[in-house]
């Protein structure tokens, strides 16, 4: 399914007209003033002055579209621009200048039958996944502390005698009987939270995508391979392929991962090339580096 058919970024003439006008978010009606073209600090006009140098004004999307490029190539910027223009749900904030909203005025999405993307559509960033893993880590650390407290409780309840002096002591007596009739592990297990994930960071990261990505929606993923092993990246690639093919999802993904870049039928934009071009995954420089590395060590695999 395709919800977003294409997206027009600000053209070179749009950017030139805006920057030379001297209009800024804090000074929307300048009088004879031109914007400082060095653009330092608060005057940094990001995301202006990025894509005209790449001759990139329009992106056309497939069910799976991949944005490839090195650091600073604009992959994440494009995702953030699209997400903000379409008002997609996001969890983590992102860095932007006051010029960001000004830039969005020049952007034009082309939606399928002019229909807004489904409500479940969202952007998922590395920060979202990292926060998710931290939450599990914090939870598990709390469980570890509780487990030690229960170990001590089990031991103390098996020491000395206990006499009932009132009805309020009946509950304490039952706990002591439970301690005497249970092993330490059984006593502890019955009092700890159930269904806690005993998983690695990579497993939790993969689980986050499996939980968030549901059918019939547009998903923007920013370098989802972070925190994932090669095995988990291949699983994620299959999950994305199946979600696009069978469950009505559309994906726009920034990535360096050869496992994701090799997804069947994906349209790949190489943001390192000038002008930006669509390419086969085997033509990308990062993939060629992997290829050349393994070719150089071919004999060690035999």
The model's pLDDT over 149-162, given as tens digits with 9 standing for 90+, comes to 666 776 676 666 66
Residue 91 within any structural domain of the chain: yes
Same domain? For 244 and 278 the reply is yes
Same domain? For 109 and 232 the reply is yes
Residue 24 within any structural domain of the chain: no
**Once rounded to an integer, what is the mean pLDDT over residues 58-86?**
95
The pLDDT, as a whole number, for residue 33 is: 41
Residue 135 within any structural domain of the chain: yes
Single out the residue in 144, 168, 189 at which a domain terminates.
Answer: 189
**Once rounded to an integer, what is the mean pLDDT over residues 139-145?**
53
Distances (CA, A) of 179 to 143, 171, 175, 191: 20, 13, 6, 12
**More confident position, 39 or 115:** 115
Q: What is the CA radius of gyration of the chain?
A: 27
Quote the domain boundaries for residue 90: 4-9+52-128+200-301
Kindly report the pTM of this predicted structure: 0.76
Phi, psi of 130 (to 5 degrees): -65, -45
Same domain? For 102 and 178 the reply is no
CATH number, position 79? 3.40.50
**Minimum mean pLDDT range among 11-20, 30-39, 277-286:** 30-39
Same domain? For 76 and 179 the reply is no
Single out the residue in 189, 215, 239 at which a domain terminates.
Answer: 189
For residue 40, is pLDDT > 90? no
Residue 211 within any structural domain of the chain: yes
What value does the mean pLDDT of the chain take?
A: 83
Residue 31 within any structural domain of the chain: no
Band of residue 163 on the pLDDT scale cut at 50, 70, 90: low
The pLDDT, as a whole number, for residue 34 is: 44
Same domain? For 118 and 138 the reply is no
- ∠ CA 93-108-47, nearest 5°, is 45
Same domain? For 239 and 113 the reply is yes
Q: What are the structure tokens assigned to 17, written together? A: 């007209």
Q: Report the alpha-carbon distance of residue 283 to residue 290 in Å, rounded.
A: 12
Same domain? For 242 and 287 the reply is yes
Total domains in the chain come to 2
The pLDDT, as a whole number, for residue 101 is: 92
The pLDDT, as a whole number, for residue 41 is: 43
The pLDDT, as a whole number, for residue 67 is: 98
Single out the residue in 168, 189, 210 at which a domain terminates.
Answer: 189
**Other residues' Cβ atoms within 10 Å of the Cβ of residue 55:** 12
For residue 282, is pLDDT > 50? yes
Band of residue 185 on the pLDDT scale cut at 50, 70, 90: low
């Amino acid at each position: 399914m395709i919800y977003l058919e294409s997206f027009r970024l600000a053209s070179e003439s749009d950017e030139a007209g805006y920057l030379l006008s001297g209009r800024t978010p804090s000074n929307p009606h300048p009088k004879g003033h031109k914007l400082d073209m060095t653009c330092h600090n608060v005057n940094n006009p990001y995301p202006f002055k990025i894509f005209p140098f790449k001759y990139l004004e329009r992106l056309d999307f497939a069910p799976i579209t991949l944005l490839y490029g090195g650091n600073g190539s604009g992959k994440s910027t494009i995702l953030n621009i699209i997400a903000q223009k379409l008002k997609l749900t996001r969890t983590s904030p992102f860095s932007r200048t006051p010029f960001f909203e000004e830039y969005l005025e020049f952007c034009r999405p082309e939606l399928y039958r002019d229909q807004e993307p489904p409500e479940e559509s969202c952007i998922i960033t590395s920060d979202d996944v990292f926060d998710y893993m931290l939450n599990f880590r914090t939870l598990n650390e709390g469980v570890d502390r509780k487990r030690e407290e229960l170990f001590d409780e089990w031991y103390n309840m098996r020491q000395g005698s206990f006499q009932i002096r009132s009805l309020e002591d009946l509950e304490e007596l039952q706990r002591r009987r439970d301690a005497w009739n249970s092993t330490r592990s059984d006593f502890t297990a019955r009092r700890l939270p159930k269904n806690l994930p005993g998983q690695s960071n990579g497993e939790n990261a993969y689980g986050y995508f499996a939980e968030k990505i549901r059918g019939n929606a547009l998903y923007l993923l920013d370098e989802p391979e972070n925190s994932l092993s090669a095995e988990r990246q291949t699983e994620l690639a299959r999950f994305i392929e199946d979600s696009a093919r069978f469950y009505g999802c559309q994906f726009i993904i920034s990535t360096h991962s050869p496992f994701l870049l090799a997804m069947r039928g994906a349209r790949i934009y190489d943001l390192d090339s000038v002008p930006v071009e669509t390419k086969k995954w085997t033509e990308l420089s990062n993939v060629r580096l992997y290829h050349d590395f393994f070719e150089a060590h071919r004999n060690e695999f035999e």
